[in-house]
Structure 1
């Protein structure tokens, strides 16, 4: 086998190894556009993991602080609170949506306008403690629009 074939085999093996590690997929990522001076917004998406995992951390350069949040009814009052992690059960879609689990982008550095593309980084950990970093691009949608419009 000549050197070119060896290099091509090594590259192919690396690509397969990277593909095999992709345990988590993200779809329909979007961020709610803001009005001038607004300092917070939500990010929403669908996350699916091949194996049991959990979302540990979320980052975005557009915000000073990024948190995973949960909204729920308690004593007839809708309450929102930050949570440390979000479980991603194997084979199930976990939907981050308004009024439920979502990502809060706080201390925004600038207005997020309709059509902006917002980079978001998710850090997911499997039961084996291996971490996967997922870079996504979430499109900003108007305040009165949801992901399905």
Structure 2
């Protein structure tokens, strides 16, 4: 009986698919004041090989920057980060209080509930398009 279980486990392990570079669980939190930047949050799943996230852009914003929030003592600060390594088969989470994308000069016609296409550009020449729902400044994050 034990041999059958081992063989079944080995056979099932051989059926697993290689990791795919992808994005999910994303959303854009609109600013409370229209002239302020919006913030995008999401999860990146690394593919079969290491790569680097070069940029995240949107047709509805003039400029975007990768940022990271941090706390030092009682002070919360935020700074731009450059390119971001995405190791193979990894999970990188962009979330409030951590890594995020600032979307500057958003189209004022973008209202909560509308999807915004984010374009992720990686150093391996891949681009991933992701339609992120938008939420109001004080709204709870969507659950997926």
- The question of a shared fold, defined as TM-score above 0.5 by the shorter chain, is answered with yes
Structure-2 separation of matches of 1:44 and 1:68: 11
Counterpart of 2:102? 104
Counterpart of 2:24? 27
> Within 5 A, what are the aligned runs for 1:1-149?
23-35=20-32, 37-50=34-47, 51-125=49-123, 130-143=124-137, 144-148=139-143
Structure-1 separation of matches of 2:70 and 2:107: 28
**Displacement of 1:116:** 0.8
- What count of residue pairs does the alignment treat as equivalent? 125
Structure-1 separation of matches of 2:122 and 2:63: 18
TM-score (norm 1): 0.75
**Displacement of 1:35:** 4.0
Structure 1: stretches of 5+ with no match in the other structure: 1-21
Alpha carbons 1:38, 1:111 under 8 Å: kept: no
Question: Does the residue aligned with 2:126 lie in a helix, a strand or coil?
Answer: strand
Counterpart of 2:15? none
Alignment RMSD: 2.1
TM-score (norm 2): 0.77
**Displacement of 1:111:** 4.7
Structure-1 separation of matches of 2:142 and 2:98: 14
Structure 2: stretches of 5+ with no match in the other structure: 1-18
